[in-house]
Structure 1
Amino acid sequence: MLRAPGRLLEGAGRQAVFFFDTVRYMPHAAKSYKKETVRLIAEIGMGSGALAVIGGTVVIVGFMTLSGGSLLAIQGFSSLGNIGVEALTGFFAAFINVRIVAPVISGIALAATIGAGATAQVGAMRISEEIDALEVMGIRSLSYLVSTRLMAGLISIVPLYSMAVLMSFLASRFTTTIVYGQSSGVYDHYFATFLRPADLFWSFLQAIIMALVVMMIHCYYGFNASGGPAGVGDAVGRAVRTSLIAVVMVTLLGSLAIYGTSGNFDLAG
């Protein structure tokens, strides 16, 4: 009866040690593997192989946040219109996009693109014994394979998330003012009134934490993959499930820590 909790605690301990070592080796990776880090930044942003044709993660994150912003405007305009205050759609875009829509959608996109790719790449190297070969050659595999990917993810998330937020804003404005015909002056007034710089700062911090968590989780499962190609596929599946849960938990805990139980805004103007 005690075996399952014991295995769970043992697995959590292994992950904690792996994450600690990954962060500890980041200065070494930044000093010794600059070219690899730059290559990974380009790969994360624009993709590789066939994925590079459509722009990789940039296009995927942009399209998903574009869809999220449009759906927010559609639902907001329709729901607010039922009580005669559709002018507050700009408030919806400024308030909900920054706090919920953009962070969650970006986190899901990171897990499905950057994260899954990292698990597959590192896992393939593990089952083909390339990681063991790196160790034999005196290369710190954790620093070369994992710490570099973690740094690349943290560097790439800032421009990626900036684009995601802008796309969600543009989609909401276009849908409200062009599709539904609301006055752009009314929309811009409520949007500017409720868009708080502090919310943008916390939103970016939340995205950075998401990128950190997603990359570490996926690299852990890839680094410890076993069982041949089928084992790599299983590692990708488990990593995606875990990282999706982590994205939601980061959003939940971050919202509780930053905003608490209050909405932190005054419905005026």
Structure 2
Amino acid sequence: MTQSAPSTQFPLLRGAVGRWARGWNNIGRQAQFYGLVIAGTKEVLVRYKAELIRLVAQMSLGIGALALIGGTVVIVSFLTISAGSLISIQVFSQLQEIGVDALAGFASAFINVRIVAPLVAGIGLAATIGAGATAQLGAMRISEEIDALEVIGIRSIAYLASSRVLAGIIVVIPLYCLTCLMAFVSTRVGTTAVYGQSTGVYDHYFYTFLNPWDLLWSFLQAITMAVVVMLVHTYHGYVATGGPAGVGAAVGRAVRTSLVAAVTVTLFVSLAIYGQSGNFNLAG
């Protein structure tokens, strides 16, 4: 009698070990790619400044038909207006039930700065700029344009991926400022104009609890989120395979991953900065 090979005796175990090994290999490839992208940012600033400027203009205001509506700026503005209006609706009605509706200004200064503004900026970056970057790099990969860049002596990771990460960081700076302003304005208008709260009461509690340090930490959170989102999207676009259908699948995977990463960054950065207590005192 002949003995069967171990692979045929334990097919489920072999499959589980294979999936585990492929998962770790994938993590290693991503970590290597992210390291090369971050290392290539210096080369972008030295050799590819024109490409960086072009990408910043494309990401912020859009190109072609998208430029007519302002590109990412307008899209993120509408997202933030919706989020700020939802805060004014939910917070004011909930606070009114317990008789402290005057604290609606405090809720705006607390929630918009720490959660809504950076998270909406990250989601807008992932859904517009990030998805576009994945589609562009994926199309270049399947049409062998990336291989052509390597042949003529251009470092494709620095030229294509590092430049997009830097452009995303540059674009998120005014984008975050816009999201903050739109969130503040929409919440204030919803609370004072729709629900009829006094503007003086709202402004008093808003400015009392608006901490400038929270704005700085929130800005740092938005920058961190932009780096993570752009790294994820450039990786999935750079390694896309399988033709146009494969590029579409890569965009879907990148958007799902970046949205999870945005929420995860918000959670861990908030815990690292503010702690479990929130680092505030409801007084004054």
TM-score by length of structure 1 reads 0.98
Please give the per-residue CA displacement for 1:152-185, whole angstroms capped at 9, x wherever unaligned: 1111111110000000000011111111111111
Partner of 1:4: 19
Partner of 1:120: 135
- Out of 271, 276, 284, which is 1:256 matched to? 271
Letter in 2 for 1:41: V
Task: State the SS of the aligned residue for 1:2.
Answer: helix
Q: State whether structure 2 residue 34 is matched by structure 1 residue 19.
A: yes
Partner of 2:236: 221
Task: State the SS of the aligned residue for 2:178.
Answer: helix
Alignment of 1:177-188 (within 5 A): 177-188=192-203
Task: State the SS of the aligned residue for 2:282.
Answer: coil
* Distance in 1 between residues matched to 2:199 and 2:186, nearest whole Å: 13
* Distance in 1 between residues matched to 2:83 and 2:38, nearest whole Å: 33
Q: State whether structure 2 residue 264 is matched by structure 1 residue 246.
A: no
Letter in 1 for 2:166: M
Q: State whether structure 2 residue 176 is matched by structure 1 residue 161.
A: yes
Please give the per-residue CA displacement for 1:16-54, whole angstroms capped at 9, x wherever unaligned: 010000010111111111111000000110112221111
* Distance in 1 between residues matched to 2:117 and 2:166, nearest whole Å: 22
- Out of 209, 213, 219, which is 1:198 matched to? 213
Unmatched tracts of structure 2, length 5 or more:
1-15
Q: CA deviation at 1:263?
A: 2.1
Pair member with larger Rg: 2
Please give the per-residue CA displacement for 1:85-108, whole angstroms capped at 9, x wherever unaligned: 111000010001111111222211
* Distance in 2 between residues matched to 1:12 and 1:201, nearest whole Å: 32
Task: State the SS of the aligned residue for 2:98.
Answer: coil
Q: State whether structure 2 residue 76 is matched by structure 1 residue 51.
A: no
Q: CA deviation at 1:5?
A: 1.2
Q: Check whether the contact 2:139–2:244 (CA below 8 A) recurs between aligned residues.
A: yes
Q: State whether structure 2 residue 187 is matched by structure 1 residue 172.
A: yes
* Distance in 1 between residues matched to 2:144 and 2:272, nearest whole Å: 43
* Distance in 2 between residues matched to 1:23 and 1:240, nearest whole Å: 21
Q: CA deviation at 1:229?
A: 0.3
Q: CA deviation at 1:139?
A: 0.6
Q: Check whether the contact 2:172–2:223 (CA below 8 A) recurs between aligned residues.
A: yes
* Distance in 2 between residues matched to 1:18 and 1:95, nearest whole Å: 37
* Distance in 1 between residues matched to 2:36 and 2:165, nearest whole Å: 12
Q: CA deviation at 1:267?
A: 1.4
Letter in 1 for 2:39: R
Partner of 1:234: 249
Sequence identity of aligned pairs in percent?
63
Partner of 2:108: 93
Aligned length: 269
* Distance in 2 between residues matched to 1:3 and 1:249, nearest whole Å: 28
Q: Which moved more, 1:257-266 or 1:186-195?
A: 257-266
Q: Check whether the contact 2:134–2:236 (CA below 8 A) recurs between aligned residues.
A: yes
TM-score by length of structure 2 reads 0.93
Partner of 2:122: 107
* Distance in 2 between residues matched to 1:50 and 1:16, nearest whole Å: 36
* Distance in 2 between residues matched to 1:169 and 1:117, nearest whole Å: 29
Unmatched tracts of structure 1, length 5 or more:
none
Please give the per-residue CA displacement for 1:109-151, whole angstroms capped at 9, x wherever unaligned: 1110000000000100000000011111111111110111111
Partner of 2:281: 266
Letter in 2 for 1:75: Q
